[in-house]
Amino acid sequence: MAKNIMIQGTMSGVGKSILTAGILRVLHQDGYKVAPFKSQNMALNSYVTKEGREIGRAQALQAYAAGVEPSSDMNPILLKPMGDTTSQVIVNGLPVANMKAADYFKKKTSFIPDIMAAYDRLSREADVIVIEGAGSPVEINLRENDIVNMGLAQILDAPVLLVGNIDPGGVFAQLLGTVSLMSEAERKRVKGLIINKFRGDKALLEPGLSMFRPYCDIPFAGVVPFVPLELDEEDSVSERLTVDNGGKAFDKAFTSSELDTRSHPLRIAVVRLPFISNYTDFTVLDSIPFVELRYVDEPEGLKGADLVIIPGTKNTISDLKWLKETGLFLTIKELSERGTPVIGICGGFQMLGRSVSDLGGIEGGGTSSGLGLLPMDTRFEDRKELRQVETKVGELKGFYEPLSHTEVWGYEIHMGESVSDEEIFPVIAKGAVLGTYIHGIFDSPEFTRRLLESLYKKKEIEFEVPEIEPAAVTREKELDKLADVLRESLDFGLIYKSIGI
Cα separation, 373 vs 355, in Å, equals: 11
Cα separation, 186 vs 192, in Å, equals: 13
Is residue 216 among the annotated active site residues? Answer: no
User: What are the backbone angles phi and psi of residue 462, rounded to the nearest 5°?
Assistant: -85, 115
**CB neighbourhood size of 251 (10 A):** 11
Which pairs count as long-range contacts for 287-291, CB under 8 Å and 24+ apart, including other chains?
287/230, 287/474, 288/452, 288/468, 289/256, 289/257, 289/258, 289/261, 290/256, 290/258, 290/261, 290/265, 290/266, 290/463, 290/465, 291/265, 291/266, 291/452
Q: Is 440 exposed, middle or buried (0-12, 13-18, 19+ CB in 10 A)?
A: buried
**CB neighbourhood size of 145 (10 A):** 12
Q: Are 328 and 271 in contact (CB under 8 A)?
A: yes
Cα separation, 47 vs 210, in Å, equals: 43
Q: Which amino acid is residue 469, in one-letter code?
A: E
Residues 6+ apart with CB under 8 A from 35: 2, 24, 63, 66, 68, 74, 122, 125, 126, 128, 129, 130
Give the strand pairing for 433-436 and 407-420: unpaired
CA distances from 38 to 124, 133, 441 (A): 17, 7, 27
Q: Are 417 and 446 in contact (CB under 8 A)?
A: no
Of 28, 264, 346, 405, the active-site residue reads 346
Residues 6+ apart with CB under 8 A from 144: none
SS3 labels along 470-497: CHHHHHHHHHHHHHHHHHHHECHHHHHH
User: What are the backbone angles phi and psi of residue 305, rounded to the nearest 5°?
Assistant: -70, 135
**CB neighbourhood size of 219 (10 A):** 14
Cα separation, 422 vs 430, in Å, equals: 10
Give the strand pairing for 433-436 and 342-345: parallel
Sheet of strand 190-198, all strands in order from the earlier edge strand to the far edge: 34-37, 128-132, 3-9, 160-165, 190-198, 220-225
> Which positions are annotated as active-site residues?
346, 439
